Structure 1
C-alpha cells in the first residue's frame, strides 16, 4: 500500500483511508485540529457576524422604515426559519450523491452574503421577504456540506474538538455581530440600511475562508450514494438519536421567550441586550472545551449534562423572579447552547458512514430546527393562554424527557461514543 503524502491524504483508490487529515494538525491544546478546521471555524464566525448584525435592527427596519405590520414581520421570519430548517437534509443528501462538499458550501455562503444588502435595498416588505428567503436558503444549503467538511478535517479521536472549535466561532460571531451594530449606529450614526450593506463584508470573508479549504475527492471505485431520504437506510442508533433529539427539541423554544421574560421582570432594554450578549459569549467559551471533553469521556455523557443545564435553566425561568438570578440563568443557558451545537453535531457525524455523512448531519439539523418550530408554537400558546411560567415549565419537562430518551435509546460506546 502506498504511503500517504506529507499533507496526510492517502492516495486515491480502494486502499485509501476513510477519514484522512487533509493537512498537518496543530499540537498542544488544539492538537488534532488541521488548517481546514480553523478555516471552517473562521467561516462560521464571519458568517454569524454578518447574520447577527441584522438581528437587532431588522424588526425596526421593517416596522419603522417600511411600515410593515407585525403580521408581515411574523410571516417573513416564519418562512425564513422554515426554509433554513428544511433545506439542510436535502442539501446534505445531494452532497452525498454528488460526493462533493465544497461546491455546495460555497454556493450557500455566497447566497447568504449577497442577500444581506438586498434587504437594505428593499422599499417594500415583500422585497425583504424575498431577500430573507435567499439568505436562509443559503444558510440551509451550506450547513450540512460544511459540517461534513468539518468532520473530515480531523481524525475520529479529535472530531469533538473540531465541532467545538466551529461552535466557538459561530457563537463568538453571534456575540460580536450585535455589538458591532450598536457601535456602528452609536458612533457613526449610520442609517439602518447601511447595516445591511456592510453585512456583506463579513459574509464574503466567510466565503473566502471556504475557498481555501481543501477537499479530498472520494476514493475511486467507492459505490455511489443514491439520493435517498429513507430513514431505514441510516443506522438504527442514529435513528434513535434523532428521536431523543426531537423529544428534547420539542421543549427548546425560541430565545425570544427568554428575552421577553427578562424584560417582563423589569430588566432594562440595554441590560437585556448585554445579558443576551453574555449568553452568546458563554456559549462561545464552552463550545471547544465541551467538544474536547466529549472526545475523552463520550458525547452522550456531555449531552446529558447539557440537557440537565437546559432543564435547570428553564425551570428557574418558570419559578424565579429575582432579577439577578434571572440574568444568571440566562447566561447559564448559554452553556447548554455551546454544548449542544458542538457535541450534538459531532455525535450525529459519528453515527453515519462517511459516504452518507452530509445527509446524516443535515437530517439531524432539520430535526433540531423543525422540533424547535413546534416548541416555539406550543410555548407561544402557553404564554398567551396559560401563563408565562407554563411555557418554561413545559420546556424543562421536555428537556428531562429528552435526556431520559437519550440515556435509554442511544447506547454509549465509550470514548467519543
Structure 2
C-alpha cells in the first residue's frame, strides 16, 4: 500500500471517478425508489419470507456470476467503458417493469434481469476507478464512489415517499424509477476512460480463469470474505424486522434513507481512513460493528430502537466497503484487476442464495433473534480470521 498523503497535499479526485460517482448516485436513486417497498409489495402478492430470501438471493447470485465473467472480459478487452454502459442500460430499462408484476415470480424474473445489468458493469467499473485513482488514494476514490452510491439511496426513498404522499400508487413509484435511471445512463456515457497505457499488462500475466495472476494472498482474503458473506443476508430482512418492531410501512422508505445518510458519512470517512490505517484491521472492526448491530436488532423491542440501530449499522458499511475494494487493488496485478474485482464480487454474490435461504428458514422456524444471532456469530469469527490473516502477512505478500 502506498504511503498516504497528508490532508493538505491531497489533490482533487480524478474526473472519471467523479463522473462514475454521479452515475452511481442516479442509479441508486432509481433502485432505492423500489427496494425499500419490495418486502411490503411482495406481501401483497402472497410471498413468504423464504420467497423474499430466494428473490434477493437469486438476483445477487446472478449478478455475481456475471461479475466474474465481465471482469475476465474487461481484462482482455481494449476498453472497459462499453461493458459499463451496457450494464447500466440493462438495469435502467428492466427495473421499472416491477410495476407490472402480478405474482412473486414476476418480481423474481425482473430482479434477476436488473442484476444482470449490475453483473455486467461492476467489475470493469471498479477496475476503471482503480486505474484512475492517484497512488496511495484508492481508499479515497472508492470511498467517494460508495458515498455517492449511498447518497442516491438516501434520495431514492425520499422521492418514493413524496410520490406516495402526492397520491401515486406503489406501482406508479416503480414506473417513475425510469427517470433517474436514464439520467444515470447519460452520466456514464460522458465518462472518459483512462488511456490503455494507464492499465499495463505485464509479461506473463495474461489472465485466465484459474491462472497464476491471482495471488495466493488474494485467494486467502476472498476465502475469509466468503465466510462472512454466508452470514450477511439481504438488508430486506432488516426492514422486515423494523416492521415487526412497529415502524409503519409508510415510514420504511424514510428509515432506509436514514440508514444511507449514515452510510454516506461513514463511507466518506472510511475511505480516507483506508489510506491511513491498516485496511484488514479496518474491515475486521467493521465486521464487529456488524455483529453487534445484528444482535441488537434481534433483541430490540421498540420501534425507536430500530432507528438507532440502523444508524449504527451504516458505520459497518463505511468501515468495510472502501477498504475491501482498496485491498483488492493492493492484492491484484494491474493486468488482472478486472478479474480480481470480478472474483471479489462473485464471492459476495454467490453466497447470497444460501445466506438468504438460511436466514429466511431460521427466521420462520425459530424467530428473528436466532436468524440475526447466527449472522452476528459468523461475522465475529470472520473478523478474527481476518486479523490472523493480516498477522501472517497476507497483505504484505501481495
Q: Which residue of 2 aligns with 1:289?
A: 269
Q: Distance in 1 between matches of 2:289 and 2:84?
A: 33
Task: Give the superposition deviation at 1:316.
Answer: 1.8
| Alignment counterpart, residue 211 of structure 1, candidates 164, 171, 189 | 189
Equivalent residues of 1:244, 1:405 under 8 A apart: yes
* Cα deviation digits, residues 180-200 of structure 1 (max 9, x gap): 01111212x234444333322
Q: Distance in 2 between matches of 1:357 and 1:127?
A: 35
| Alignment counterpart, residue 200 of structure 1, candidates 171, 175, 178 | 178
- Whose radius of gyration is greater, 1 or 2? 1
Matched, 1:244 2:219: no
**Mapping 1:238-317, distance limit 5 Å:** 238-317=218-297
Q: Distance in 1 between matches of 2:253 and 2:169?
A: 20
Q: Which residue of 2 aligns with 1:180?
A: 159
Equivalent residues of 1:308, 1:399 under 8 A apart: yes
Matched, 1:375 2:355: yes
Matched, 1:45 2:25: yes
| Alignment counterpart, residue 116 of structure 2, candidates 120, 126, 137 | 137
Instruction: Provide the secondary structure at the position in 1 that maps to 2:168.
Output: coil
Q: Which residue of 1 aligns with 2:93?
A: 114
Q: How many residues align?
A: 388
- Consecutive unaligned residues in structure 1, runs of 5 or more: 1-18, 20-26
Task: Give the superposition deviation at 1:144.
Answer: 0.7
| Alignment counterpart, residue 152 of structure 1, candidates 128, 131, 141 | 131
Q: If the length of structure 2 is used for normalisation, what is the TM-score?
A: 0.87
* Cα deviation digits, residues 226-281 of structure 1 (max 9, x gap): 56221754111111110111121121122222223333233433454433321111
| Alignment counterpart, residue 141 of structure 2, candidates 150, 158, 162 | 162
**Mapping 1:368-407, distance limit 5 Å:** 368-407=348-387
Equivalent residues of 1:144, 1:358 under 8 A apart: yes
Task: Give the superposition deviation at 1:356.
Answer: 0.8
Q: CA RMSD in A?
A: 3.0
Q: Distance in 1 between matches of 2:311 and 2:62?
A: 29
Q: If the length of structure 1 is used for normalisation, what is the TM-score?
A: 0.83
Task: Give the superposition deviation at 1:33.
Answer: 1.4
Equivalent residues of 2:91, 2:115 under 8 A apart: yes
